[in-house]
Amino acid sequence: MKNKVLIIEDEILARVGLHQLLDWEALGFILLEDAKDGQEAIQSIENKHPDILLLDLNIPKVNGLQILEYLNKNNLDCKVIVISCNEEFEMVKEAMKLGAYDYLRKLNLSSQELKEILLKCRAEKQPFFRVREIRYEEIISHTGKDIFQDVGTYRTLLCILPHKEKQDGIFSVIEQCRAWFQKRGQEYLQIHKGAQCCYFVFDSRFPGEFYEELYQILMQRCLIKLYLGIYEGVMKEETDINRAIALAEQIQMMSYYDEEQKIHYFTEKIPAKEHSPNRMPHMQAALKKAVSELDREEIKKTITHIFTAVYEERYININVLRRIFMDMLGVFSMTAQGLNGAIEEIEVRGDNCHYQSLMMSSSLSEIEKWFLEFTDAFYERFLIDYKCSRSEILCSVFHYIDTHLRTQIHQSEAAREIGVSSAYLSTVFKKEMGQNFIEYVNMRKVELAKEMLEKGYLVYEVSDVLGFENCTYFSKVFKKYTEMSPDTFRKERGNKKL
């Protein structure tokens, strides 16, 4: 890793001479843009973090001794080589007391003399740190290695949060970060704390371009949205690290609220609200009523209102929001139990662990989408049970359909079986189900047909088993509900019949 050198000199000829005195790059040094006065020097130290300073003591605005005092005050690990004139001996002595590494006489300075002191300076400069990784538990319990032994002071903590429902993306992020830091020659300490975020600690601060470039690299290579939380401040002991992690971890709030800005700096705790929106009891009562009546459109409308209220109340504590979502899911669960069922019978995105899905989710927009998908699945699963609980006629007709699904079903025969007229059954069915009797029967038959075709049954066999008049009529009905012929469906989805 090349050391960065900053020349602090107000005389242009002296600066040019220092540039020409050595082949800096060949020796493994990077020359930063020169500082012509003390103010420029401090700005460069803050933004570019040089390892070595070549410091002229008599510079305008902020003199060399004041720069050394600034370094001490801010605990900056930076080697200072004083470039002095003969008449500055008293100032040089004061500079050495303030921690200057060595000094060189400006007049007749040779390349060999400068080279030797630079190489000596670099050789004695301790490596960034020996510990590259540590578990968070080792820090808080003081059982790990001393992470401050070689560094003294850390200045930046970076928390990276993959904005993804499945947290396996964190491992890809870690590997890409390591590769990128290594390529840049940037040393770091990684702190392992769970599997949701990754944490990196540095002894330097970085310009905004550093994080922008890292963010773009991770986005391109990991293919997942990310949020970066950054804390910049002096960290000299474990309590400082703990506080820095707590502040940087607030990026989870930004992610939860789907903030458009993906890189955030944190200097203090966000005043998150510990209560739900004022209208929440009213909206939850409206949701309970809509779910109990299995009114799908009203359920979705109420869910949208709830999430709108949450977005407007930035920022509510994540645990408070999770309790709101648990209560919402509980409303569905109570209705399902009242219909002698359970929400675990429903799968959303291939999973029926609904409470766990909500707890693990890190995005309000994704949770809202999930609830809307869950509403559709809940409606489809419990609609018949709900209708049967309110109407003996419908209960009887659904039972008739279920027991005769593999035969030809006629509305008139079903009506006669349950003891009502065909016209009355037609009216009741259309009013309660929003579709006519034959449409519902055909839809049920097509669902069963798809299962049989996937198992490898031939089209004519399915048509025969389900009681269709002929294959032509079966194909017509199947295509109406699936937008493809049964032959095409079988070729795409079916297996060989054993």
User: Domains of the chain: which residue ranges?
Assistant: 3-124, 133-265, 280-384, 391-493
Name beta bridge partners: 135. 192
Cα-Cα-Cα-Cα torsion 328, 330, 332, 333, nearest 10 degrees, comes to 170
Mean pLDDT on 103-115: 89
Within 293-363, where are the H helices? 296-312, 318-338, 354-360
pLDDT score for 186: 86
Give the integer Cα–Cα distance in Å for 112 and 472: 97
- Which residue in 465, 399, 477, 464 sits closest to 438, CA to CA? 477
Mean pLDDT on 342-353: 94
Average model confidence (pLDDT) across the chain: 89
Give the distance, in angstroms, between the CA of residue 498 and the centroid of all CA atoms in the same chain. 46
Q: Which CATH architecture has domain 391-493?
A: Orthogonal Bundle (1.10)
User: How large a percentage of the chain has pLDDT more than 70?
Assistant: 96
In terms of pLDDT, which residue wins out, 409 or 78?
409
pLDDT score for 168: 58
Neighbours of 159 (CB within 10 A): 27
Report which secondary-structure segment, H or E, holds 429.
helix 422-433
My answer on whether omega of the bond before 315 falls inside 30° of 0, hence cis, is: yes
- Both tokens of residue 209? 């371009």
Contacts 24+ apart (CB under 8 A), 480-484: 480/442, 481/442, 481/443, 481/446, 482/446, 482/450
Residue 425 has pLDDT above 70, yes or no: yes
Give the integer Cα–Cα distance in Å for 231 and 242: 11
Of the pLDDT bands very low, low, confident and very high (cuts 50, 70, 90), residue 260 is very high
In terms of pLDDT, which residue wins out, 269 or 152?
269
- Both tokens of residue 89? 């001996």
End-to-end CA distance of the chain: 65
Of 33-47, 121-135, 152-166, least confident by mean pLDDT is 121-135
Q: Quick one: 163 exposed, middle or buried, by C-beta within 10 A (0-12, 13-18, 19+)?
A: buried
Please give the DSSP secondary-structure letter assigned to residue 86: G
The correct CATH number of 133-265 out of 3.40.50.300, 3.40.630.10, 3.30.70.270, 3.30.230.10 is 3.30.70.270
Mean pLDDT on 227-232: 96
Give the integer Cα–Cα distance in Å for 134 and 148: 12
In terms of pLDDT, which residue wins out, 75 or 226?
226
The correct CATH number of 3-124 out of 3.40.50.2000, 3.40.50.2300, 3.40.640.10, 2.60.40.3950 is 3.40.50.2300
The pTM score is 0.62
Within 185-295, where are the H helices? 208-222, 238-248, 251-256, 280-292
Residue 45 has pLDDT above 50, yes or no: yes
Name beta bridge partners: 162. 226
pLDDT score for 331: 96
In terms of pLDDT, which residue wins out, 307 or 98?
307
Residue 165 has pLDDT above 50, yes or no: no
Residue 249 has pLDDT above 80, yes or no: yes
The Cα-based distances of 320 to 74, 164, 396 in angstroms read 40, 21, 45
Residue 130 has pLDDT above 50, yes or no: no
Of the pLDDT bands very low, low, confident and very high (cuts 50, 70, 90), residue 156 is very high
The residues, any chain, with a CB within 8 Å of residue 211's CB and separated by 6 or more, are: 158, 228, 230, 263
Residue 155 has pLDDT above 70, yes or no: yes
Give the integer Cα–Cα distance in Å for 133 and 378: 47
Give the integer Cα–Cα distance in Å for 5 and 23: 13
Phi, psi (rounded to 5 degrees) for 8 = -115, 100
Sign, CA torsion 245/246/252/254: negative
pLDDT 10s digits, 477-497: 999 999 999 999 988 886 544
Residue 147 has pLDDT above 80, yes or no: yes
* Residue 283 contacts residue 267 (beta carbons within 8 Å): no
How does strand 154-162 pair with strand 198-202? Answer: antiparallel
Q: Is 470 left (phi over 0), alpha (psi -120 to 50) or beta?
A: beta
